[in-house]
Structure formats: C-alpha cells, structure tokens
Amino acid sequence: MGPRDHSIASELRETCSITVYDASVKAPWGVLSGSNHQLGHFDQCLSVSWHDLRGQYCLPSIKLKPLQPQPLPRDVHSSEFHQQQSAWLKIQFAGDPTKRHRDVVRWALCVPASCSPRQVEAALGAALLQAGRQLGVQLTAELQTEYCTVHEQQNGLPTSTILYLSCAAALIILVIVATVYDVTVCKEDVNKNEKHKGVLHKAMILFSAQNNMRKLLHVEKRKSLQGYSPLHVFLTFCVVSVHRYMDCYRYPIYNGEFIDMALHTPYFYVLSYGTVHINSFFARSGFHLAYCLSEEFEKSVEARKILLSIINRYLRLTPLYFMVILFYIYVLPYLGSGPLWKTTVIQEKENCEKYWWANILYINNYVGAKNMCILPTWYLSVDFQLQILGAILIYMKWRLPKRGWVVTGVVLVLSVVMSFSVLCQKQTDMFFTYTKEFHTDIRTDQVFQEVYISTLGRVPACFIGIVGGLIVYNQRAASFRLSKVSGPSVFIGVFYGCE
C-alpha cells in the first residue's frame, strides 16, 4: 500500500469516526419538559462499516443527582415552575409517582461494535464521574445488553418465516379465487338450495370475501337490545383513549409534561377507571350469551348445546388468533428496527415463542402472565373462561329454573366476596396507579396480575350481564318497554352500583 493509499484509508477512517460522533447525543435537551429519551441518529450509526470499524448504537440510562441536598417543591403534584427557581425542583424526583422521571435520561451513543456493553458502561461511567464533579452533579450510567444494537447482515429470511408467508399467500389466493367464484358463478344461483350443492361449492363460499363481508355487516335487530349501542360506543372510546395514553407514556415523547398535566384533568379521571370500563364489555358479553343461549334452550334443553357453543367459539377464534401469534414470532421482527426494537418487538417475539400454547388454550392470564404473549390477549382468555362458566349456569337455569336462579345468585355473591377477600388479603388496589413502573412493564404490576387479568374479578360483571339477559329474554313479550334513554341508564346504574 502506497502513501496515497494510506492517506485515503486515514481519511475514510476519520470520516467514519466523524459519522459515529455525529450520530451520538452531545448534550440532552428538553429534560425539564420531560423529554427523557435522547435518541441521536440510529440509522446513521449502524451505517458505519469500514474494515474492522462498525457502528454500534447504544442507549444507556444516565441518572442525575445533586451532590448537595436540594429543596423539594412544596406541592409534589404541582406542575408549576418558575424559571428563576432552581432546576432541581423539577428534575429530581419529589414523590409524585405519576410524573415522568426527569432525573433519568436515555442518552444515545454510537460506539465501535467491538466494544461490549459492559465496556461502554464502564468507560461512560468514568467520563461522567469526572464531568459530574466539575458541574457539581453526580452522574451514573447503566447499560443493559438489550439496549445495544449492531447492524447484522441478513442472508435471506429463515425457512420458518418463508413457510409462514407461503401459507399466508396461499390463504390470500384462496380468498381471491373464492370471491371471484362467488361473484361470477353463484351470481345467478342465489336462490337455489345450498343443501343440493357440493362440498367444493360450500368450501368456496366459506372463503368468499363477499359472503363473509355480507355476514359481518348484517345487523339482526332485536327490539329488546335497542339503545345499548351508544353506551357501547362511549365505553369503547374510553378504553381506546386510555390505552392510547399508555402508549404515549411508555415510549419516547417530545413533551412529557403534557402527559403529566393530563393526569390531573377531569377528562382523564373519567377515562382512568379502566377496570370498570372493561367490565362493561364482559357484562355485555354475558348479556348476549344469556339471550342467545336462551333462544336455543327454548327449542330443546340439551347439554350438548353447551359443548357445541364452546367448540364453535373456539374454532371461530383460534385459527386466526394462531396466525397472529405466528406473525409475531416469524414476521414482525423482520419488519423494522430502532432504538427500542429489542426491548419491545423482540421481547414480544421471545414471549410468544415460550408461551404460545397458553394463548391457544386460553389460559395465558394465569400461565406465564408475567411474560404474556401479545398483551391484550388476556381479554380473550378471560372472556372464553367466562363463556364456559356462564353457559353452564344458563343451562342449569333452564333445566332447573328455580334452583338455577339460586345457583346463579350464590355464584355471583361468592365471586364478589372472593374478589373482595383477595384485594384485602394481598392489599391490592382496585384501580391502576399510573406510575413509571406501571408503564415500563405492565405485566409485572400487582394490580394487573391480581385484579385486571383475573377471571375471578370479572365474574361479577359477566354475571350481571347474564342475569340481565335472562330477565330481558323472559320479558320479551311484555308490553312494557324501556326507552332508548332509560334502558342504558338503568344498565349503568345497576352495573356501576354493583361495581
């Protein structure tokens, strides 16, 4: 290698070094407003690759603490802050668990891939110790392995991913072919009896998008159920809004102070009782279960109808549910990257690899709950378990009318007493406290484990709906009708009163 080659190599290495430096965060900004994720430039860091020099993106956690004790604000819940006051009044944790911690900052660094996370943590800690002394601040660093990312060359997708994509593509093609068949071949045979048509025809119609969309959009009007849709829409709005807030709190946000202030508004108080709002969906589910099974049992009270309804529900939910789980395992990890990719998407993949079987058995709210695969799926498990228990009690009511009502009442009272006993014994709150730990990993939160995803805690709500469904069905022929306003009002009064 000649002098010119050495010069070019030196310039390239210098350029790579500048790129690494430029991708790192030099100084934090917006800390007082709750911007505690200083992300730098992820893609620029990983783009560095020249001989033995490769970029590695790390996101260490840096804690700020004053060397000398500083005064705390008089009101730890207040967001008021004057610029002439000490910044420590806002930075240090004063005791309000709902506020974002401003004394801990995620600070992006771009370092050579040859450095291990422990080496980066040690080197950063030594540099911060010296800088902190000069500034009168104690700075400590912590770096976990999952917060470091190195660009890895992909030699094609794994066989498992290709197999999943092939199956998904085959299903899409089948739906397209079945839809074309339904639109063209069956257009003139709409009124013909389906019993006289072959198995292939029925299978094609089963996968037809047109046929399924028609069934999906079909609304069966029952006068006894009118007036509850607006209530359902309102409760859905509350649940979606709360979960949207949780996502804002958990992930990096530009102005975290806005979220802190939103916690103390009347609007958020209405939304924050997520446990009660979710219970309304279980009550509605129990209402529909009681009404629909009562229609079947009025024809003939047979125990096999319970088994058939459970099997029908399982087969209706599980295939698509399983496809979503496989998507999380085999496809989702390859769809992107980012500073928090390993701690979110990859962690979700690993949870699903370990506990997928608990999901399709609908027991994941008890088995492996702290490492649950796809967090919102706890609802499916609780609902499925309640459907089984509710169907049995509805059957008993129709088989033994008087004793069935007694058993239903006893189970309802016992579920309320047992839920209350669990709360008292384990000293658990009924509602969430929106703390930093809650938003970091909700799966480990005590309220989430003991109350939120517990089937026992949802039994009263479901049974209120079942009792309401049985009463409405028995009185369907009565001349008296609740209006569209008074009906939901009575439901809200009874439901929230019991809660």
For 462-490, how does the pLDDT look when each residue is reduced to its tens digit (9 = 90+)?
Answer: 888 888 888 888 776 655 555 555 555 55
From 128, 150, 172, the end of a domain falls on 150
Question: Cα(115)–Cα(90) distance, rounded to whole angstroms?
Answer: 35
Q: Beta partners for 142?
A: 61
Same domain, 230 and 178: no
Question: Cα(343)–Cα(146) distance, rounded to whole angstroms?
Answer: 6
Rounded to 5 degrees, what angle do the CA atoms 119, 124, 126 make? 100
From 150, 168, 188, the end of a domain falls on 150
Same domain, 29 and 94: yes
Same domain, 308 and 251: yes
For 413-469, the pLDDT digits (tens) are 887 788 778 777 777 776 666 666 666 777 877 778 888 888 888 888 888 888 888
Model confidence band, residue 321 (pLDDT cutoffs 50, 70, 90): very high
Same domain, 175 and 65: no
Structure tokens at 160: 């498992």
- Computed on alpha carbons and rounded to an integer, the radius of gyration of the chain in Å comes to 29
Same domain, 369 and 446: yes
Across 130-157, average pLDDT? 86
Q: Any idea which of 10-24, 185-199, 291-305, 367-381 has the lowest mean pLDDT?
A: 185-199
pLDDT at 80 over 80: no
Q: Any idea which of 106-120, 138-152, 294-308 has the lowest mean pLDDT?
A: 294-308
Same domain, 211 and 305: no
pTM here is 0.84
For 147-174, the pLDDT digits (tens) are 999 988 777 888 999 999 999 999 999 9
The structural domain count of the chain equals 3
Same domain, 95 and 131: yes
Same domain, 489 and 385: yes
DSSP letter (8 states) at residue 265:
S
For 93-103, the pLDDT digits (tens) are 887 777 788 88
Which run of H or E residues covers position 16? helix 3-23
Same domain, 469 and 335: yes
Structure tokens at 85: 């006051």
Same domain, 295 and 180: no
Structure tokens at 489: 């009002």
Domain containing residue 330:
224-498
From 150, 180, 195, the end of a domain falls on 150
Model confidence band, residue 227 (pLDDT cutoffs 50, 70, 90): low
Same domain, 485 and 430: yes
Same domain, 476 and 327: yes
